[in-house]
């Protein structure tokens, strides 16, 4: 996953598979930041403003998971939870 600039100057997230090298924009990732993958690699989570979204690696649009994400780091646990550095745990559905 990487961030790139659109012609209008907006930052968008892209995915590139190792086997084909083609960049694919992630729908709904305009102005996203700090992307991270689920443990199984099927999902990409990212921040947009104070929200955390998840999007399927296969190209579906991002869905909001959290509307008031705290500052700091977030990781995706083996139990499909987002764990934030402040100790908050968010169940991913």
pLDDT, one tens digit per residue, over 37-82 is 998 888 898 988 888 888 988 877 778 887 877 667 888 888 888 8
Which 3 state secondary structure label does DSSP give 24?
strand
User: Residue 93 pLDDT > 80, yes or no?
Assistant: no
Quick one: which of 55, 66, 62 has its CA closest to 88?
66
Backbone angles phi, psi at 65, to 5 degrees: -105, -40
pTM reported for the whole predicted model: 0.81
Residue 71: per-residue pLDDT: 67
Quick one: which of 70, 69, 27, 73 has its CA closest to 52?
69
Quick one: which of 75, 76, 71 has its CA closest to 86?
71
Report the share of the chain in percent with pLDDT over 90.
3
Residue 20: per-residue pLDDT: 83
């Amino acid at each position: 996953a990487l961030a790139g600039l659109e012609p209008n100057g907006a930052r968008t997230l892209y995915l590139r598979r190792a086997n084909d090298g083609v960049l694919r924009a992630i729908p709904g990732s305009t102005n996203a930041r700090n992307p991270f993958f689920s443990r199984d690699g099927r999902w990409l989570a990212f921040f947009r403003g104070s929200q955390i979204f998840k999007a399927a690696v296969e190209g579906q649009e991002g869905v909001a998971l959290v509307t008031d994400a705290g500052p700091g780091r977030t990781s995706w646990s083996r139990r499909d939870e987002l764990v934030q550095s402040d100790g908050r745990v968010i169940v991913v559905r």
